[in-house]
Chain A
Amino acid sequence: MKLTLVTGLTGLVLLVTIIELLRRRQLREKYGMLWLAVLLIVIPLSLFPRLLDNVAGFFGVVSGVSLVLFLGIVFLLLVCVHLSWEVSALEEETRTLAEDFALLRAEIDAERAARDELVSRDG
């Protein structure tokens, strides 16, 4: 009973955290929705850990809890890979921005130099 209380409370705290982050617009919806969906699965399981025993039996896993642990690790790995992928895309975007910025600055410098030359010739 104590264990159920601990796991159930943890799930609730996580749920509140995600909702609060979404409410303050600190988290993009696409990520927030993902974690909310995960919590909607996790919280019932934290209250009734035996829920998945039948499914586990079907896959040849003795205990439903083990199955949840296994799926959880796989899921977290996938999330990490996804984040690396997102970071790679972000780096490519900032790289392009940095290049655009440097090109623009070079253009401005060139134009300013040309104008200064013109002014000094006229003056």
Chain B
Amino acid sequence: MVNNKRVLIIIPALNEAGSIAEVVGEVRGELPGVDVLVVDDGSSDRTAAVAAAAGARVAKLPYNLGVGGAMRLGYRFARDHDYDVAIQIDADGQHDPRYVPKLVDLLDDNDLVIGARFAGEGDYQARGPRRWAMVMLSAVLSRVARTKLTDTTSGFRAANRRVIEMFAGWYPVEYLGDTVETLVHTARRGYRIRQVPVAMRKRMAGTPSHSPVKAMIYLGRAFAVLTLALIRR
């Protein structure tokens, strides 16, 4: 329970056996009384077993669906088990669970709260095409959502019952759909979106890519996904 609300932490994980135990342990340590669901997105390593040993509930997908598939499963679980709040946290340890109460507080007046880097806290910086993509996404999505959004691809978000209900029935599985398209969809249906600044930490395992070619491809795909999301109903 956080502020008298039943809270479920959803952690989509793909081959994160190296960091998942620490992430689950930290969440359970910082947030007693909160349930943790690790969605193992078809990992080939021991992610599911390690997460279960760390005390999380585990839903193991039979094959890889992508973050969107793992998240819809998480929201379906939250809906079926009657949670008030569902919070997505990355399995690589870059999100600090101490921000969770802040996100839950803001759900009193909002439907979807996003923990955003670049919003004053932390020291993460991106350059080149990756940065252009982020600027484009935040400019357009801020307009659509009528609120300032600087980190639209953040995987740290809290949803209330109304949004859980919607995401349980509809959550895109395509690349960037889980972040960009869900924001457009949510905003268009009149839900209130709000971001809070959070400091991101270094990933416990794995490294982000820095190839300029990949960054350009990312920009192109982000543009395509955004355009499609805007012309879709």
Contact = CB atoms under 8 A, between A and B. Distances in A.
B60 interface: yes
Interface residues of B, number: 18
B136 interface: no
Interface of A: 95, 98-99, 101-103, 105-106, 109-110
Contacts of A99: 61, 65, 69, 72-73, 76
Contact of A102 (B52, B61, B173): B61
Contacts of B72: 99
B62 A102 contact: yes
Contacts of B59: 102-103, 105-106
B57 A102 contact: no
List the 8 closest A-B pairs by CB distance, nearest first: A106-B59, A102-B59, A99-B73, A102-B61, A98-B61, A98-B62, A95-B69, A102-B73
Contacts of A106: 37, 57-60, 77
B40 to A, nearest CB: 8
Q: Which of A95, A109, A110: most chain B Cβ within 10 A? A: A95
A110 B57 contact: yes
B79 to A, nearest CB: 11
Nearest to A113: B52
Contacts of B77: 103, 106
B123 interface: no
Contact of B63 (A98, A105, A110): A98
A24 to B, nearest CB: 29
B62 A95 contact: no
Given A98-B61, A102-B59, A109-B52, 7 more contacts: A98-B62, A99-B76, A102-B60, A102-B73, A106-B37, A106-B57, A106-B77
Interface SS of B by simple majority: mixed
B109 interface: no
Contact of B65 (A98, A105, A109): A98
A106 B61 CA distance: 10
B65 A101 contact: no
A98 B61 CA distance: 6
A105 B60 contact: yes
Contact of A103 (B69, B76, B173): B76
12 contacts: A95-B65, A99-B65, A99-B76, A101-B61, A102-B61, A102-B62, A103-B59, A105-B60, A106-B59, A106-B77, A109-B57, A110-B57
A110 B57 CA distance: 8
B108 interface: no
Nearest to A105: B60
Contacts of A110: 57
Contacts of A101: 61-62
A117 B193 CA distance: 42
A56 B182 CA distance: 50
B42 to A, nearest CB: 9
A115 to B, nearest CB: 16
